[in-house]
Amino acid sequence: MRTEYREEPCKSALNRVRGMMFDWSLNPYMGCVHQCTFCYVRAFELRADRPYDDRYGTSIRVKVNVAEVLRRELARASWKHETVAIGAATDPYQPAEGRYRLTRACIEALSDAHNPFDIITRGPLILRDLDVLQEAARRANVRVTFSVPTLDERVWRTTEPGTAPPRQRLRVLKQLVEGGIDAAVGMAPILPGISDKPELLREVVKAAREAGATGVWANVLNLRPGTRKHFLEHLAEDWPEEAERYERLYARRAYLGKDVSGPVQATIAELKREYGVSDRRKTRLTPAPEPEQLELAV
């Protein structure tokens, strides 16, 4: 399908968030061409009575004035310089950013205000903004997370059809870290029975260590209404042997319990110890120069 870009001004830039690990979010775009089958934003689209199926991501709202609005909000006397999460609902470095440069303008606004922020992305385009990220990091805490759920090519192509290859993301992460940016890997979502195999988890943690990631964290797939329906429909086509199991796993819940997530988290924790990867993103890791050193904890 052809993607439509709608240039529309916004009335507000910062969004108050509840029930998440952050209190404020910023999304220069709404809608995402990555069209990941597991995207949790589909649940919010359903709630707002907007398309959450395969049409999601074919219409992108471009908030053309978002940086100007952001500067006004950051200048308010009531603003407490809390950390802002960029990319919580849509990737700030999807292809449209190459043309509109809204994420870059927002980073400059946050930097000028000495305001801390986190970015989560699957987009290698972030490397273009290394200069403004470095300047912002001199003034406040700046953290970047590259979402890399798996390095398995089939899983990536099937579940993240519009994204750059995971290894390309890691190459860019390495360049960001070498440029002094706090950059971690988020293994999310991990798919039970598909991407949670020990050898696949090991592959990601090892590659993150080699890239110098400043930390690794992971989450198992969550399926809320909207996301659930869309993902399970695709699962039935792509992994029919897993369809019945997923229907059973998520029959009465969106979030899996420790019976499923616990073993996965334990495996990743052990791999992080083995490869010397920190839980704390502020602890910098330098890329290991020799493969055999990956077995040693730092």
Please identify which residue in the block is written with the tokens 């798919």.
191
What confidence tens digit (pLDDT) does each residue in 147-204 have? 999 999 999 999 999 999 999 999 999 999 999 999 999 999 999 999 999 999 999 9
Of 199, 183, 184, the C-alpha closest to 150 is: 199
What pLDDT score was predicted for residue 123? 97
* DSSP secondary structure code for residue 55 in this structure: T
CATH number of 144-221+256-287: 3.20.20.70
Which pLDDT band, with edges at 50, 70 and 90, does 290 fall under? Answer: very low
Instruction: With a cut of 80, say whether residue 282 has pLDDT above it.
Output: no
Domain boundaries, the chain: 1-140, 144-221+256-287
Q: Are strands 24-26 and 117-121 parallel, antiparallel or unpaired?
A: unpaired
Residues 6+ away with beta carbon under 8 Å from 60: 3, 4, 5, 6, 29, 30, 31, 32, 33, 94, 96
Q: Please spell the DSSP secondary structure of 172-230, one letter per residue.
A: HHHHHHHTT-EEEEEEEEEPTTTT--HHHHHHHHHHHHHHT-S-EEEEE----TTHHHH
